[in-house]
Structure 1
Amino acid sequence: MKGKKILSTLASLVVATGLLLTTNPLKVSAATPTASGTEAAPAHVTINKHLVMPEGTITPAGAATFNFTALTVDGETATATNMPAIPARTINFTTADAGTTTSGVKTVSKESVNIVDGITFPHAGEYIYTVTEAASGFTLTNDTDTTEEMVYSTKIYYVQVIVANNAAGTGTYVKSISVNNYTPASGASVAVVGAKVGDDDGAEGTDFSFENKFVRTHLNDSTNPGDTNDTNLRIKKVVAGDGGDYTQYFTFTVTVNAPAVTLPTTPTTYKAVVMENNATIDPAANGITGAGTDHVFTVTPGTAFTVKLKHNQSVVLLDAPVGSTYTASETAVANYTASYVQTANGVAGTSTTSNTVASTIIGEAANNLVMTNTKAAITPTGIVLSNLPYILVGIFAIAGLGFLMSQKHRRSTLG
């Protein structure tokens, strides 16, 4: 009896703390708290599912599955016979789902079918269920080229279904459906039979929604520079023109920023190397200190770093997540004209005469920046004729001095 009383109290709290629904067909919101129905049009509610990822990320393919657990019927503990089961509801996602992007965050949102669709309730009364999302359904890639991580929702909701008799007295219909977040008291531990207990930190909203966060990273392999699967950022220096000095270093200032969506496991620093003619080199001569024996050094998101590059050298990021951004600028050098060609997410741009590159997203496909410095050949000018008289005077003076010395030597020999 004590257990039944606790469950009945929980059911009452579902109603008392605010029911977050709208009218039929339902998308839950705080504006109108209950989804009400009639015999002709029973109450209807759907689950809102959100996949959140950095801008520029291709949506992962998979299925979000939501499981329902019967809790109480008219305050009595649910059994296999006194309460109908609500089957798992599934929402499918594909790589073609475009979603919407705001402030660097891409969100793909979909709805389930009516959660009580096809359910026959045996009698009028109050039925309470819990609903949670399974922590599976998306196959993630983790190999030498790509890593994928997803944080699944841990939300738990109470769903209250009020069932009424039809006018003819021959059956029932769903009169209302109400949903409430499960919010445990501070330090409390509540056991819900058959259900996962999650917490409501407000991050996923209050619209009967479940949110997963997803991050993908394409890895550059510094030991296999010719790998065509390497799409992370590469910034290359090219010197051109008959007067270009291939041994001269040019100074770059680069800032890499983390994507707008990160996970607890997302690295707080990224790895990078300097390469010359597709081989990793010791970056000490490039002004980089602290590199390991493998020549890998770290880059801190949001903090500018300086690197010096000469002809055919590149700075290469190894593990910046998709959706990261970067800016780059090169210090101007006298007698050189700077221009660049940028490839962003596999799309090559045209040559731009500038030494500064605006913020650009690191996308799923190739991300390259080639900065070219061109110096024309030096034009021969010959001897400046306005100085010729002075040059002739100097020649005659030297010749005269030589004649005097030879005469002196001759007298000394004869004497």
Structure 2
Amino acid sequence: MKKGRILGVLLAAAMAFGGVTGAVGTRSVKADGSSNYKFDKQYLLKAGDSGTAKSPAETFLFGKNGKAELYKVQNTKFHTLNDKEISDTSDVMEKGIPQTITIGNASFEEGQATIQGTKKEVTITSVDATKYPSAGYYFYKFQETAGDSAGVTYNTDPYYIRVAVAYNSDTKALEINNVTMFNNEWKKVSEIDNFYSAGKLTVQKIVTGNMANSDDTFDVKVTFTPKAGTKLRSTIAGSTSDTSLGNVTITGNEDGQTAKFKVKAETEVEFTNIPEGVSYKVEETRANGYDAPAYKVNTKEGNKGTIVGENTDKAIITNNKETLIDTGVFMNNLPYLLVLIFAAACGVGFVVSKKRR
């Protein structure tokens, strides 16, 4: 009995110290007696132009159906004084320990991933302390649920929540002293970060050849396709350097989008906020009298590419219209030319003859 009382005092002191140094967030007691703790979810712009990169709206989820599951326990009544190792839950699964605690979610609106980061609080709701069989440390494991928005990096590392249950000698009851979160390296953390990355694409038109007309227009389309397993939820924007040709129209859905527009010599069309990992294909309708369009993407032949965050890809479409111009004498005019030469010779001969006489 005396030994157990000493253990309880030591554990309570240790937990009180841990509550000062390792609490996740501000504690608030709900009406049903359970306790809430919070950690921060931060949404950051990892790569992209801060003026044009606009992250999709996103809700980050945690655990299995919002639950962190019992992982290990330590310093409970099932341990001896010298037992400092954390016990696997298989040893105590039938000991009446709460098997899960609840983790909320964090929702962000479109464009809230910024260089500075936007923070939202995620609530950890532990069960009532009286549900635990004894004082001790109870560890719960969870992971962020991987989403499928193109360009978004999800943090799927394992995280651990330690619920410290202590005996209060004044109230003669158990209470939750603090809740602490650890990363997969068992370092105390109070924040989980997520990132958004986007890039750009510029389409340029070049016209060559002696029969080309700089005012000739060409129809172009660019298709954007998200990486397998992801959805294109970002708003891709397109603008042209020659507004007299009309606007860039973009249609489609989460499975892919298509941009259509007109260009002429020296026109440039820029696309922004293309999520990292999205592939594109540039195609032009062949124009009358012109050779088939030649494509080059980032100095390489071809009309396809994949966006890398913060980079600006460049696609060049070249159209050529060339005709060989014959500068020689037309043979069908030769007889008339000979007649004129003969007539001129006769006239000169007549004048010379008359002058002699």
Sort the TM-score into its range (normalised by shorter chain). Answer: 0.3 to 0.5
Highest relative contact order (Cα 8 Å, sep 6+), 1 or 2?
A: 2
TM-score scaled by structure 2? Answer: 0.47
Larger radius of gyration: 2
Structure holding more strand per residue? 2
